[in-house]
Amino acid sequence: MNTFTRWLRKKWILYIFLCIPVFYVFVPISQYDTEYLADPAKYLLEYVGKAATILFVIVSCITPLKLLFPKVSLVNVLVFHRRQIGVSVFVYAMLHLVIYYFYTGTWEIFIEDWKKLFILSGILALVLLLVLTATSNNWSVKKLGAKRWKQIHRLSYLIMLLLIFHQAAQEKTGYRETAIYFAPLIILQSFRLVKIGMKKAKD
Ligand code: HEM
C-alpha cells in the first residue's frame, strides 16, 4: 500500500469528502445565484436530493468495481469506506425529506403530496435505504447470517429503480438527465454481468 492510499484510508479524509455537498452549498448562496434566490427551499431540496443520488451511485458502483478491478488500490479504498458512504446516502436522503417538509409548509400538503407516484417512489426508496443502513453493521451480519444479509442488501437494485423513477418522473429533470447520473452504475453492472456470464460459461 503506497502513502497516498494509506492517506485515503483515513476516516477524517472520508468525512471531509462526504461533507463536500454541505460545503459546496455555500457557493451559490455566496454568489447570489439566481436559481437559489428564486426559491431557496426548492433549490436546497433538489441540491440535497442530487447529493444523496450521487453518493448512492458511488456506493453501488463499489461491488462491480471490486469484481472488475480487484487489484486497483483506489477501488480497495472505496471497499474499505463502503459502510460510511452507504450511511451518508441515508443521512442526505433524510435531510432531503426534512427540507421537503419545510418546503411544503404544512402537514396537510405534505401528506397530500404522498399520493403522487414520484413522491411515493422516493418514500419507498427511503424506507429501503433505512433497512440497508440499519443492517450495515457486523452485529446484523452475524445475526442474519451472510446469505440472508446478502439477500437483504440486494434491495439496493430495487432502490436504484425507484430512484431512477423518482428523478426521471419530474418534468424538470426527465429521463435524459437521470440517465447521466446513473450511467456509471448501469455500465459497470453490465460489465459485471458479462464477466460473471463468461466465468460461468468457462466452468
Ligand atoms: C421521503 C422521501 C422523498 C420525498 C418526499 C422526496 C421529494 C422530492 C421532491 C418533492 C422533489 C422535487 C423537487 C422539485 O419540485 O423540483 C424531489 C426531487 C429529487 N429527489 Fe426526492 N424525495 C424523497 C426521497 C428521495 C431519495 C431517497 C433520493 C435519493 C437518494 C431523492 C433524490 C431526489 C433527486 C435527485 C431529485 C431531483 C433533483 C433535480 O434533479 O432537480 N429523493 N424529491
Assigned C-alpha cell, 169: 418522473
pLDDT in tens, the chain (203 residues): 788 889 999 999 999 999 999 888 888 888 888 888 888 888 999 999 999 999 999 999 999 999 999 999 999 999 999 999 999 999 999 999 999 999 988 888 888 988 899 999 999 999 999 999 999 999 999 999 999 999 999 999 999 999 999 999 987 777 889 999 999 999 999 999 998 888 888 87
Length of the chain in terms of residues written: 203
What's the total number of domains in the chain?
Answer: 1
Instruction: Report yes or no: 83 and 139 within 8 Å, Cβ to Cβ.
Output: no
User: For residue 118, how far is its CA from the centre of ligand 1 (angstroms)?
Assistant: 8
pLDDT at residue 31, rounded to an integer = 84
**pTM (predicted TM-score):** 0.92
Which residues have C-beta within 8 Å of that of residue 55, sequence separation ≥ 6?
Answer: 18, 85, 88, 89, 92
pLDDT at residue 34, rounded to an integer = 85
Q: What is the largest CA-CA distance in the chain?
A: 61
User: For residue 52, how far is its CA from the centre of ligand 1 (angstroms)?
Assistant: 9
pLDDT at residue 109, rounded to an integer = 87
CA angle, residues 167, 171, 173, in degrees to nearest 5: 45
**DSSP label of 88:** H
Probe target for ligand 1 pocket from 25, 43, 45, 164, with the most ligand atoms within 8 Å of CB: 45
Host domain of residue 188: 3-202
- Residue at grid coordinates 477524517: 12
- Ligand 1 atom showing the smallest separation from residue 89 Cα: 30
- Ligand 1 atom showing the smallest separation from residue 178 Cα: 40
pLDDT at residue 40, rounded to an integer = 87
pLDDT at residue 110, rounded to an integer = 85
